[in-house]
Chain A
Amino acid sequence: MANSVQADTLSPQGTSAPPGSSEPLADLAARYKLTVSGARPGLFAYSGQLWARRHFIVAFANAKTRATYSTAKLGQVWQVLTPLMNAAVYYLIFGYLVQTKEGIDNYVAFLVTGVFVFTFTQSAVLAGSRAISDQLNLIRALHFPRACLPISFTIVQLQQLLFSMVVLCAIVLGTGEPLTLKWLLVVPALVLQFVFNVGLSLVLARIGAVLVDIKQLLPFVLRTWLYLSGVFYSLDSYTDKAPGWVARVLEANPGAVYIEVIRDSLIDSHHTLPLHVWGYAVGWALVMGIGGYVYFWKAEERYGSG
């Protein structure tokens, strides 16, 4: 039979660990320039692969956004409704029931900016912690640089933030703030926050891939961070009485940094921001962006094992 004739010529080599051939398997592999399967590529090769999948990253983010609202009757209207309702709830509680407004001229704009900007970081962290562990099926089905996933999920959150920013701008203008050239600073501020968030979500994606317990822990960590970031109140009014280093640490806290930078750009009546806070914004973006990327890449070959 044709098949067995063909196969017969294979069988001497085909049998396992051919005892007849003296050549070790590793040398055979080297002779034909085979590479170790599943080995992690170098950092630059990896970045190249990632760049080649940029269409995938964007398409995945768009698909995820669409899927999130696909079962809701109002569809993507929720992308605007959700931030509006959030702002309303926070205003009701912190602007009306609990009095924390002292020293803040335009509390509504102050509060809503804080909530929206912090929500971006918060949801990027939460999505990042699930980016690998919830997508194991996809990871085991297809080969692509795994960093695509956390980046993609952060883009989903960025799209949500852009909708929120439209709502925010309307609120800021509606509360009597003027439209100034300073508003343009929102763009670099959001770019820096996006880079920071990508880095942070890459870190949490790696942790979340092996330590499932992190999902239970994160909400508490994030809530603590929220209260330390001056979303509802001006940090200055609390740090006045505290030792100097407390104020400095709270000022350098990335959560507060990005909120303050955007408040400074949008709200004219907000107290003027010292320039070094912009320095923090750039610094955090660089440290977290690069650090998180390298940290994630170092475990690249292990994400499929779950």
Chain B
Amino acid sequence: MAEQPAIMSLAEAGAKSEAKSEVDVPEQGAAQQPQEEMPPTVVVDDVHLIYRVHGAAAGKGSATSALSRLALRKKAAGITEVHAVRGVSFVAYKGQAIGLIGRNGSGKSTILRCIAGLLPPTTGKIYSDGQPSLLGVNAAMMNDLTGERNIILGCLAMGMTQREADDKYDDIATFSGLNNYNGKDFLRLPMRTYSSGMASRLRFSIAAARTHDVLMIDEALATGDRDFQLKSEARIRRLREEAGTVFLVSHSMKSIRDTCDRVIWLDQGVIKMDGPTTEVVDAYEGK
């Protein structure tokens, strides 16, 4: 495989940082509850998801094809089914950070959207403790508003009161680092002036301001720079200790190794492997 060398070097970097973190983690591992006591936070029970794509074969934009479809009542003509998730089951427990890995189109983001309750599964059920929140890379806030307003609106939308939102504001602004970015207060500018990395900083900072029962992060850290990645990885570990469950979708095996203790490898919509980070990531990287 052409990309092998790059992956290897990432893996090495990951192994190094893991060795480093080994020093301060042990008591956490020892304090782990016996498994009977661990309450599940997300139960995914044999979930299938089929996307029905309209107008895939015959372009619906073309007037003649749309008219002939209406006239002939051929409803099924332009519909293609994509079976994105095929029978996935797993149980996530309190305090776990679970990495989801796999090739593009293997169903990682789809399963997260199902868990978040944004996409009803075609068959199967998903049970969760509280309301899982999904932090996605496409999840823009309001582009024509300033960062400031987006912070307040985001907090209010998550269910905070006006006072709580005002209290959290400084934390969020400082964590995002955008209140003094290259010597400029970007929070006073509309979000449409932000680079994609800056926007994802702000989104993550807002979502991380609250403790979530279940927080899912979909490639949201991919565009952040190295400083911010380290900061947000530390925040993810803290969110996890605050008794939540964290899901992380990433193609960076280093991020996965640094933040997750369990990894689920999805391939073509089914679970190929599920277990401790090192085992699964090693297998994924073909070691």
Interface positions of A (Cβ within 8 A of B): 1-18, 24-26, 28-29, 32-39, 49, 52-53, 55-56, 59-60, 63, 66-67, 70, 137-144, 148, 301-302, 304-305
A140 B139 Cβ-Cβ under 8 A = yes
Give chain A's interface secondary structure class.
helix
- Known A-B contacts A4-B276, A36-B127, A37-B114; the reply to A29 vs B153 at CB < 8 A is no
Within 8 A of A (CB), among B99-117: 113-117
Q: Mark B124-145, 1 if CB is under 8 A from A, else 0.
A: 0111110111111011111011
Residues of B within 8 A of A11 (CB): 275-276
Residues of A within 8 A of B156 (CB): 53, 55-56, 59-60
Contact pick for B136, options A10, A141, A148, CB 8 Å = A141
Residues of B within 8 A of A25 (CB): 43-46, 89, 91, 127
- Residue in B closest to A302 when the chains form the complex, CB atoms: B120
B276 A3 Cβ-Cβ under 8 A = yes
**Alpha-carbon gap, A33 to B271, bound state (A):** 26
Residues of A within 8 A of B26 (CB): 2
Contact pick for A301, options B28, B117, B277, CB 8 Å = B117
**Alpha-carbon gap, A126 to B81, bound state (A):** 33
Q: Does B267 contact A (CB under 8 A)?
A: no
B159 A15 Cβ-Cβ under 8 A = no
- Residue in B closest to A56 when the chains form the complex, CB atoms: B156
B35 A2 Cβ-Cβ under 8 A = no
* A156 CB, min distance to chain B CBs, angstroms: 13
* B259 CB, min distance to chain A CBs, angstroms: 11
B126 A36 Cβ-Cβ under 8 A = yes
- Residue in A closest to B90 when the chains form the complex, CB atoms: A16
A4 B128 Cβ-Cβ under 8 A = no
**Alpha-carbon gap, A7 to B125, bound state (A):** 26
Q: Does B228 contact A (CB under 8 A)?
A: no
- Residue in B closest to A10 when the chains form the complex, CB atoms: B262
Contact pick for B93, options A10, A52, A139, CB 8 Å = A10
22 contacts between A and B (CB under 8 A): A2-B28, A7-B275, A10-B261, A12-B35, A13-B91, A14-B90, A14-B274, A17-B90, A25-B91, A26-B43, A36-B126, A36-B127, A38-B116, A38-B126, A39-B117, A59-B152, A67-B142, A67-B144, A67-B145, A70-B190, A143-B133, A301-B117
B153 A59 Cβ-Cβ under 8 A = yes
